[in-house]
Amino acid sequence: MIWIVSVVVIAIIIAACWKVGGMMMKEGDKTAEEDAKIAGIVLKVVAGILLIVAVLGTAFASIKQVPAGHVGLVYTFNNITGQRDAGIQLVAPWQGFKLADVRIQKVRPATTCFDGQIEECLEAFSKETQDVFIVATVNLSVNKGDVQDLYRNVGSDYLEKIVRPRVLQIFKDETVKYTSVEIAPNRETIRAVVRERLSKELAPYSITVNDLLIDNFDFRPEFKQAIEAKQIATQEALKQQELVAAEAAKARQVAATALGAAEKLRIEAQGQADANRLIAESISPQLIQWQAIQRLAGNVEIALIPSGNGIIIDPAALLGRATP
């Protein structure tokens, strides 16, 4: 539209200059006034220069450079009528031309959280409605063959219209499934689910989600302090439990030692009792006499045997004498 208006204006100026210049040159012939002739020539020269400028301007306006990683969109009266790939392209001078980036783009939230203290942040909720502040990065790209459809149906501001709102909504849908203390341990699960859902919802717009990264999960300071206090209390309770368990183990060890000593004494007593029983069963008068004789001194020649006691061994033989 601008080019058309500019061409019309320049054409009018050229035509006017050419016509006026011609008239002045004719008048100069009749009146023989040199000034009129010169003025007419100047006007015609100006008209010629304007014509050359218009032609060159139109030629330059028709040449477009599309850098690598971009697509050129062709507009005809504000409607997208085509697109051009990277390189030097020719378009009609009355058509508009805009560049669209098809490289992988880094998209982060445009909002802030916690009263502006956390930038580029999404605000979601946990299962117990605790505030969850999420800093995430989405890497995405547009299929260059479908850029004109995306711009025609959504617009060049597609990031604000369909990408960032979906990122926020999907994160909210996922974090609300977990309690606040469960969110960090399930970070990778949440990331994978959000990426998969986002990919499916953006696919109809020819937008590819190359990756999604969760930079940070954060909570309000008072909640973090409560969690820290709870962890300290839990650690202290575990420490006390360990001390009690250690004391119980010591008590069990002492009891086991005592039981072992008692069992040892019982076994020794039982052994002694069994020995005494066997000794008692094996004692006889003859054995006693024999044991007594074995303990006599070597120089004993006379042995007194109580009367009335049977003896089976001849004393004289024991003393080394013959029986009289």
The 10s digit of each residue's pLDDT in 109-167 is 888 888 778 888 999 989 988 889 999 999 999 998 889 999 989 998 999 999 999 99
Instruction: Report whether pLDDT(317) > 70.
Output: no
Tell me how far apart the alpha carbons of residues 172 and 124 are, in angstroms, rounded to a whole number: 5
C-alpha 228: how far from chain center: 22
Highest mean pLDDT among 54-58, 228-232, 288-292, 299-303: 54-58
The more confident residue out of 184 and 56 is 184
Tokens of 155: 């617009």
**Cβ-Cβ contacts under 8 Å for 293 (sequence gap 6 or more):** 303, 313, 318
For residues 310-320, give the mean pLDDT. Answer: 53
Nearest to 138 by CA among 158, 153, 155: 158
C-alpha 207: how far from chain center: 23
Widest pairwise Cα distance in the chain: 209
For residues 266-294, give the mean pLDDT. Answer: 70
Band of pLDDT at residue 322, cut at 50, 70 and 90: very low
The radius of gyration of the chain's CA atoms, rounded to the nearest angstrom, is: 57
Nearest to 168 by CA among 142, 201, 141, 143: 201
Averaged pLDDT of the chain: 78
Question: How many residues belong to the chain?
Answer: 324
The 10s digit of each residue's pLDDT in 18-71 is 666 666 666 544 444 565 666 666 666 777 777 777 777 777 777 888 888 888
